[in-house]
Structure formats: C-alpha cells, structure tokens
Amino acid sequence: MSDKDETPENPLRKELPEEVPAESSETPRAEAEQDKPVLTGRQRLMKGLWPPRVSRAQLIVALLLFGLGFGLAVQVASNSDSDGALRGARQEDLVRILDELDDRTQRLEEEKQGLEDQRTELENSSDQAEEARKQTVEKEKQLGILAGTVAAQGPGITVTIDDEKGTVEADMLLDAIQELRAAGAEAIQVNGVRVVAGTYLTDVSGGVAVDGNKISAPYRFKVIGKPQDLEPALNIPGGVVQTLEKEQATVTVERSDKIVVDALRPAKRPDYARSSSQ
C-alpha cells in the first residue's frame, strides 16, 4: 500500500485519557479511626462527667444545700466560740453568771406565781359572783312561792270537801289551812285562789270568801308538801276530817307525785314595812 492510500489523521480526534480507578471513600475514615487513640474506662468516665450538664432544678437544689451547709457551719462555729468563752472565763465570772441566771429564774418564777394567783383570784371571784347570782335567783323563786307570785309544782295532796248540806263555815276551812301549814305545806290553793301569809276567810251567802273572792262547794285544796306528813295531819283524832264529817260533809284526800299550784297573787308593796338591811 502506498503512502497515498493511507488514511489521513483526523485533526478533530482526541485521545481520551485513561480511566483512573476511583478511590473508596471509606479508606480515609478507616485510616482516621486507626490513628485515633483508644480511651481507657476511667478516661471515658471523666469525659462523660466533664464538662457537666446541669439542669435548672439541679442548680437550685445545689444552692439550697450550699446555704444549709453554710448555716450549719456558722451555728457550730458560734456554739464553739461561746463554749470556748465560758471555758476560758475565770471562776469569779462563772459564779457571777450563775448567780445572774439564778436571780433571773427566781424573778420569772415569782412573776409566774403572781400571774397564777391573779388567775385563781379571778376564777374564784367569777365563781363567787356566779354562785351569788344563782342563790339570788333561787331565793327569789322561794320567796315568790311563799308570796304566791310564782307558780309551783311538786308532790302533795288534793283535799276535796263536799258540802251538800251547806254546813261548812269559813272557820272550818281556816282550821284545815292551819293544819296543813303546821304539817309542812309549802303552797296551797283553794278553788283557784292562792293562799298566802295574809289570807283571811269569811262567811258569805252561799259559801265562803277567801281574801274577798267567793268560792262554793265542793271546796278543793291543792297542797304541795310531803304527802306522808300532810294526810295524817288531817286525819288525827278530833282533827279536821272528823270535825267536817260531824257537819255531814264528805272529805276525800288523794296523794300525788305532782301537784300544780298555778293561781297567782299580784306582788304588793307593803305600806309601812321596809327592809332593815343597808
């Protein structure tokens, strides 16, 4: 083949560079890990603890614990200083301090005793005043019963006198009242009229008048007192019951555990009598 027959070289043709094999990306990392030093257990522990990761709650707790510890340390130091001062004091100073403490204790005891005495006096005074008030109220009730200004109740008897013949007179009823009083009667009521110390009885047409109030048969006495004493007082020989029966009147006596005397008398101011107590 001649030189003419050879194919001319293409000027646009470029030779491609030969492919270079790509290096693996894992190689540098592996090499770096191989170059990294191996940590011991203690080194790993220190690395985990430092730098510390403190939360807000942990910081607050730490501050509180610090303050508590500081306060305890100050208290211990103060007590130590005080004990040291006493240990270093002279005997005369210690005696003087002890005497002052004894004097102060004695003064406090005296103040305590004084306050206790005042309290006792106030309590006694209060109790006496209360007791006096109770006695006054009770006395008023007793006087009211005797004066007929308050109602009364208690054990006693009921005496009923039937006078169909109309022969019962005022003096016979007055004898019955006197016998009952002598037997211990504390409150008496006759047909709705309260009997008191100044009660009087008179004969009127068709009956008897008690303190000016006319009453008629049957005459009913409500009497408060000890039934065992009241009833026998009326039944003594020649007494009230026998006298009324001679006048053909019928007398009935009944005991009861509760007799109510509720007829009242108005409180009357005496015209001349005055209390002698100042």
Nearest to 240 by CA among 228, 257, 252: 252
Same-domain check for residues 71 and 138: no
Nearest to 163 by CA among 49, 230, 252: 252
Structure confidence by residue, pLDDT tens digits, 67-87:
777 777 776 666 555 555 566
Would you say residue 100 lies in a domain? yes
Question: For residue 108, how many C-alpha atoms fall within 13 Å in the half-sphere facing its CB?
Answer: 6
**Cβ atoms 199, 191 nearer than 8 A:** no
Separation of alpha carbons 125 and 119, rounded Å: 10
Would you say residue 31 lies in a domain? no
Site of tokens 């008023």: 140
**Strand order through the sheet with 207-210:** 201-204, 207-210, 213-215
Tokens describing residue 196: 């008191």
- The pLDDT of residue 126 is 64
Same-domain check for residues 189 and 249: yes
Top-confidence residue, 22 or 85: 85
**Cβ atoms 224, 157 nearer than 8 A:** no
Q: Output phi, psi for 12, to 5 deg.
A: -85, -10
Same-domain check for residues 183 and 231: yes
- Counting the structural domains of the chain, the total is 3
Range of the domain at 55: 43-88
DSSP string of 151-214? -EEEEEEEEEEE-SSS---HHHHHHHHHHHHHTT--EEEETTEEE-TT--EEEETTEEEETTEE
Structure confidence by residue, pLDDT tens digits, 109-133:
888 888 888 778 777 776 777 777 8
- Model confidence, pTM: 0.53
Structure confidence by residue, pLDDT tens digits, 156-215:
999 999 998 889 999 999 999 999 999 999 999 999 999 998 899 999 998 999 999 999
Same-domain check for residues 78 and 106: no
CATH number at residue 216: 3.30.70.1880
Would you say residue 277 lies in a domain? no
Same-domain check for residues 110 and 84: no
